[in-house]
């Protein structure tokens, strides 16, 4: 964290003449070199800090992207999200009304959730969802 603040200070305080520019570039490169040395555990790319990411989260991250993390764990990014969504649906369906289940899973209404579950071939979850709606 302090290295980037120091690099920003160097960048903003040195004059803009050509000799100072080279000196400034050398200092900034030396101060920010630690960010480029971390490589992804799933590919040879460097791990770069995202503009909206906290420093603690950046330091804890081991992959350059969520897709790379999913591939490293044996799943593609979309497949990993789908598996997580299905696991959540299995857990939540039956604990609340069908409308609340759809909302908690991130869908606008029950029809959208049913459509997605059918597309993913999980008719057992659709049946459980309908039983929950009928019981309410």
Using CA atoms, how far apart are residues 12 and 33, in angstroms rounded to an integer? 18
pLDDT surpasses 80 at 22? no
In the three-class reduction of DSSP (H, G, I as helix; E, B as strand; rest coil), residue 39 is classed as: strand
What are the pLDDT digits (tens) for 86-117? 999 999 998 888 899 999 999 999 999 999 99
The pLDDT of residue 133 is: 79
pLDDT tens for each residue of 43-68 = 888 888 888 888 888 888 888 887 78
**Which one has a higher pLDDT value, 124 or 81?**
124
Q: Is 46 helix (H, G, I), strand (E, B) or coil?
A: strand
pTM over 0.75: no
For 46, phi then psi, to 5°, come to -75, 155
As a whole number, the mean pLDDT across the chain is 78
**pLDDT(123) > 90:** yes
């Amino acid at each position: 964290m302090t290295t980037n603040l120091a690099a920003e200070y160097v960048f903003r305080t040195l004059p803009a003449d050509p000799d100072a520019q080279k000196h400034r570039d050398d200092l900034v490169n030396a101060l920010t070199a630690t960010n480029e040395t971390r490589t992804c555990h799933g590919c040879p790319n460097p791990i770069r800090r995202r503009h909206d990411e906290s420093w603690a989260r950046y330091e804890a991250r081991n992959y350059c992207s969520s897709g790379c993390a999913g591939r490293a764990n044996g799943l593609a990014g979309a497949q990993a999200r789908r598996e997580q969504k299905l696991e959540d649906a299995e857990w939540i369906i039956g604990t609340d009304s069908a409308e609340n289940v759809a909302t908690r899973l991130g869908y606008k209404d029950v029809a959208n959730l049913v459509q997605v579950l059918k597309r993913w071939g999980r008719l057992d979850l659709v049946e459980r969802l309908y039983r929950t709606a009928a019981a309410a």
